[in-house]
Amino acid sequence: MNRRFRLWLVAVGSAGLAALLVAACLELPDFGGAWHPYGDRAVRASLDRHTANTVASVNFDQRAFDTLGEMTILFAAVLGCVVLLRQTRDEHRARPEPADVEPPVRRYALIVLPVALLTGLYVIAHGQLSPGGGFQGGVVAATALHLLYLGADYRALERIRPVGLYEVGDAAAACAYLVLGLAGVLAGTAFLANTLLPYGTFNTLSSGGTVPLLNAAIGMEVACAVVVLLARFLDQAVEIEEESRA
């Protein structure tokens, strides 16, 4: 199939799809309207269970089982990357060279690193109260560590980032989520049902029953997953070299 023919085919298909999409858009409820039956019920359920951040309540309480699937996708994708980006037989590992960093860059990175790390942990810890949560905070915390790569060099990053430990942490966090779900079954309710712990006082750190615990498990999982992912890509860029075929 040549390029011209393919683009024509895409144009015809896209025109049909565009017509269908426009027809569907015209039938959707008006933008900005007041009719949100699911949203209203989710807000009521969230307030009943003393979770101030309704989005966290939807993710870790009302749809916690769905989040389990999402976490599994994350885990599988990381596993796939680790397998795909391994060192093959015709490659060898070169020791990364120490790099010179401009003093202002180094200073800025080293000042921002602890602030960014703390912000990430804060966002994870307050997931059930304020915007944020395990997914967002995990990414912030994991990328904060990589400021060390910008501010110093790859060897400094490798010293504070034993990848094996983060791989174990990723798996442990995934297991923790499952165990928290199974605890509900053992206590005589349903898998991942938020009936195990007292709901606590509204708008405090310990409110929301199992929401903060599931949130923390996800935070750890995401942070470890991002560290492992970036480590594999950085290894490809910095360390792994193809054998010269001389």
Partner 1 sequence: MSVLPYLVAAWVFLAGCYGLAASRNLIHAVGCLSVCQAATYVLLLAVGYRDDATAPVYSDIEPGSRPVVDPVVQALALTDVVVGATVTALLLALVVQISKRHGTVDPDELSELRG
Residue 210 C-beta: closest distance to partner 1, Å: 16
Residue of 75, 71, 52 whose CA lies nearest to 192: 71
- Binding interface with partner 1 (CB under 8 A): 3, 6-7, 10, 14, 17-18, 21-22, 25-26, 28-34, 36, 38-39, 42-43, 46-47, 52-55, 57-59, 63, 66-67, 70, 73-74, 77-78, 80-81, 84-85, 129-131, 133, 135, 202-203, 222, 225, 229, 232-233, 236, 242
Cβ closest to partner 1, residue 10 vs residue 175:
10
What is the rounded CA–CA span in Å between residue 140 and residue 134?
A: 10
Cβ closest to partner 1, residue 9 vs residue 175:
9
What is the rounded CA–CA span in Å between residue 45 and residue 131?
A: 18
Cα dist. 113→120, 127, 176, 207, 208 in Å?
11, 21, 28, 30, 31
Cβ closest to partner 1, residue 82 vs residue 156:
82
Backbone CA torsion sign across 148, 150, 153, 158: positive
Cβ closest to partner 1, residue 14 vs residue 195:
14
Phi, psi (degrees; rounded to nearest 5) at 240: -80, 125
C-alpha Rg value of the chain to the nearest Å: 23
What is the rounded CA–CA span in Å between residue 156 and residue 100?
A: 12
Residue 15 C-beta: closest distance to partner 1, Å: 9
Cβ closest to partner 1, residue 126 vs residue 161:
126
Residue 104 C-beta: closest distance to partner 1, Å: 31
Residue 81 C-beta: closest distance to partner 1, Å: 5
